[in-house]
Amino acid sequence: MPSKSTTIKQYRCKKCNAPYPLGADDVIATCPYCGYTFEVGGSEVKHLLIPNKLDSKTVKSTVKKWLESAASKSVGKGILKHIEVEEPTLQWIPLFRVSGKFESYHFGVKKEGSGDSARHIKIEDSDSGEMTEWVIARRHAATFGINEFILSINDSGIKDFEIDLTDGAPVLNSEIDDSDASTRAQSSRKDRERVELLEKVDRLLDHKLKLTPQKSTYTHAAYWLVRYSYQKGTFRVAVSGSTGEILLGEIPVTKRYRAKKWFTSIFLLIGSGFLFQILPYILWIFLQGNSSDGDIWIVPVVIAVVAVALWAASVVVLGGALRYEVEVDKDGKERGDRFSITETLQKLRREVS
């Protein structure tokens, strides 16, 4: 039985007649020789390019400076002596700039106070206006730091696409059309709004967003990837060509970093165990009392919440000690499963109350 073909086919450019490969999922393609861009099986597509502000030497220098700063905030500068930075690679990432109008509405509640004095405040608002949303034009965007890349896009100086402006780097083809781009713009904007709203309210009861796309512009932007080696391991740093800034990087975990995480985890676990141990005695004291004040019971509840928070923190911190590398943002802060005692206490307090 014949299997479904997934091989890349050879096509010839309608403008310069040069042969070049076209992927099975490509919807909009660009000739790497003359820059002719077209819908597969259709007509020519005019699109734009956000100029690349960097060259290979500048990217390499930027990454080295960032590594020094980021390492000093996390794993220590000791790794710098053993790092070898490879030559940066440049790619042109396909994007859609979706512009139009939006209407949004949200309704939620925020709790203030505790015990008998607790009250829930209604948080309700609506908004409308012009919007611009950038959408990656690939179906399976596994590129390192791609989410940070999308959020960093700066289209100042944008111009008509010319193949001579790409510095001979690969120009990736689009795997979606403008209709798909509009759908993805709606989804990504709503997800981002939801995250922002959940930071303002304790419970989000309703959230609606309506986008009315008016224009989708096909665009390419420069993405740099730098690999470096450390003790036989390879790590990555992503850089935006449109802004010249670091997007995201990987830092190798060192013995010093692991030791710091181990000690922090043990300290948190001891604190949690101590609070769990004294909790029965606190409860016994309150049961022996005759106070009718309802707020007084918040004390053992808070102790229990803090104990659970410290235990959860010890598990999260221990997980960090077992990693091979940590992902760090442009400011040198660890991304991902960082633990915040304040945030955890707030979440647990909401659950308890």
pLDDT digits (tens, 9 = 90+) for 130-154: 999 999 999 876 689 999 999 999 8
3-state class of 209 per DSSP? strand
**246-to-53, 70, 145, 167 alpha-carbon distances in Å:** 13, 11, 10, 20
Predicted pLDDT of residue 3? 42
Residue with more model confidence, 118 or 352 = 118
Considering only CA atoms, which of 256, 35, 277, 270 is closest in space to residue 160? 35
Span 179-190, average pLDDT: 92
Beta-sheet strands, E only, within 113-232:
119-136, 159-160, 203-230
| Residue 155 amino acid letter | D
| pLDDT tier, 36 (very low <50, low <70, confident <90, very high otherwise) | very high
Q: Which amino acid is at 248?
A: L
- 87 DSSP assignment: P
pLDDT tens string 50-95: 999 999 999 999 999 999 998 888 777 878 888 999 999 999 999 9
For residues 314 and 106, which has the higher predicted lDDT (pLDDT)? Answer: 106
CA proximity to 246, closest of 54, 82, 97? 54
Q: Please report, rounded to a whole number, the percentage of residues in the chain having pLDDT higher than 70.
A: 83
- Residue of 175 and 276 predicted with greater confidence: 175
